Structure 1
Amino acid sequence: MINLNENYWTERYRNGYTGWDIGHASPPLMQYLDQIADRNLRVLIPGAGNGYEAVAGYRQGFVDIHLLDISRFPLERFAEQFSEFPENQIHHEDFFDHQGEYDLILEQTFFCALDPSLRVDYCKKMRELLKPQGKLVGVLFGIEFERSGPPFGGNMEDYRELFEDYFGIKKLEPCYNSIPPRAGTEVFIHLINQ
């Protein structure tokens, strides 16, 4: 098993091995945020990396949006590029150590970056971080990869079996608005902390 620690991710960022980085906010997440009337929700983006969704959401009026990443490297770059973003909403921390309560957690390439052995722990931690009726919304890979990751893939049947033990499932379906290179390979999730 690869040690997916801070050093691993920092080296990936430093060396430009960031295949998950699409260079802009993810269309499925932005379309979801566009539909939310209450811009005062407390939002977390774990594994935020370069923070495209965070800055896009912030500029749309989500003033309580938080970035979290295990690597300081992309967070420092983000803070330099977007100096208007509140510094106290940028968290350099391991997801499993983070404390807080959120109305919404956005999932964009974080789940697939964790070793699959941590998926139950991921669900437990998400429930801990979400307020009652809080939502976990985002995109997962809906394919299995030939090589061992990251990224780590999966399929809708396994995801349903995993998530139904921890959340109410509002949506778990093929993603219809993926970026073209990922068309047909992603699953959209909308889970509720019940």
Structure 2
Amino acid sequence: MNFDAQYWQNRYLNNETGWDVKEITKPLKDYVDQINNKDLSILIPGAGNGYEYEYLIQNGFSNVTVIDIAEQPLINIKNRVENYIDENLICDDFFNHTKKYDLIIEQTFFCALNPSLRNKYAEKTNELLQPKGKIIGLLFQFPLTEDGPPFGGSESEYIKLFSDNFKIKTLETAYNSIKPREGRELFFIFEKK
């Protein structure tokens, strides 16, 4: 299947967004709440309806960028978030993006990509981060099959995939996942080498 812009646009238009929990998830909220530097440049790729973006903006972060391949979720953000910054809501393919960031937040983007793009994702996130920049977020831990999205994976797969370019700071089962994802998510912090 081709998971292109039209595929994702149709999912939003048809309200086929089972991954959308209508708020920032607790593991990401808890991480964001301990960040003191509100000037960090932050990227949320494949942000969908952007509840992480909304939470960051509401909490004083001023340099947050969202990129999504589909236009509808960006429209949804604009309709919901009063003080959004238009040029920071980008409708494009993540792999075309070139700006550098201090932090990348991963929330259900990696698992939505065709698994054949995982090496490219690991390389691209490394490329988009400033020296010592971090990528944090959640990755699914259930067997990788061709049924998806979402596509699963394992701790050992993620270590192999990211360890060339990143220092694995944290990679553990999230203790505060939402109920339907309990025991199926790994919280991670990877720092660019």
- Shorter chain as denominator, the TM-score bin is over 0.9
Corresponding residue number in structure 2 for 1:129: 128
Deviates more, 1:178-187 or 1:75-84: 75-84
Looking at structure 2, the residues matched to 80 and 185 of structure 1 have their Cα atoms a distance apart, in angstroms, of 32
How do residues 73-112 of structure 1 correspond to structure 2 at under 5 angstroms? 73-112=72-111
Corresponding residue number in structure 2 for 1:26: 25
TM-score (norm 2): 0.97
How do residues 161-180 of structure 1 correspond to structure 2 at under 5 angstroms? 161-180=160-179
Looking at structure 1, the residues matched to 167 and 72 of structure 2 have their Cα atoms a distance apart, in angstroms, of 35
Q: How many residues align?
A: 193
Q: Secondary structure at the match of 1:76?
A: helix
Looking at structure 1, the residues matched to 10 and 95 of structure 2 have their Cα atoms a distance apart, in angstroms, of 21
Identity over aligned pairs, percent: 46
Corresponding residue number in structure 1 for 2:42: 43
Point out where structure 2 has 5 or more consecutive residues left out of the alignment: none
Looking at structure 1, the residues matched to 89 and 2 of structure 2 have their Cα atoms a distance apart, in angstroms, of 24
Deviates more, 1:79-88 or 1:153-162: 79-88
Given that 2:99 and 2:128 are in contact with CA atoms closer than 8 Å, whether structure 1 keeps it comes out as: yes
Looking at structure 2, the residues matched to 180 and 106 of structure 1 have their Cα atoms a distance apart, in angstroms, of 21
Looking at structure 1, the residues matched to 178 and 28 of structure 2 have their Cα atoms a distance apart, in angstroms, of 11
1:119 maps to 2:107: no
Looking at structure 2, the residues matched to 147 and 176 of structure 1 have their Cα atoms a distance apart, in angstroms, of 27
The Cα shift of 1:31 comes to 0.5
TM-score (norm 1): 0.97
Looking at structure 2, the residues matched to 58 and 83 of structure 1 have their Cα atoms a distance apart, in angstroms, of 10
Q: Secondary structure at the match of 2:83?
A: coil
Given that 2:145 and 2:152 are in contact with CA atoms closer than 8 Å, whether structure 1 keeps it comes out as: no
Deviations 1:102-156 (A, max 9, x none): 0000000000000111110001100110001000000011112666111100111
Corresponding residue number in structure 1 for 2:3: 4
Q: Secondary structure at the match of 1:50?
A: coil
Q: Secondary structure at the match of 1:32?
A: helix
1:183 alignment partner AA = E
Deviates more, 1:46-55 or 1:160-169: 160-169
Divergent runs of 4+, >6 A? none
1:43 alignment partner AA = I
Looking at structure 1, the residues matched to 16 and 30 of structure 2 have their Cα atoms a distance apart, in angstroms, of 27
Looking at structure 1, the residues matched to 140 and 105 of structure 2 have their Cα atoms a distance apart, in angstroms, of 15
1:144 maps to 2:126: no
Looking at structure 1, the residues matched to 80 and 19 of structure 2 have their Cα atoms a distance apart, in angstroms, of 20
CA root-mean-square deviation? 1.1
Looking at structure 2, the residues matched to 145 and 16 of structure 1 have their Cα atoms a distance apart, in angstroms, of 25
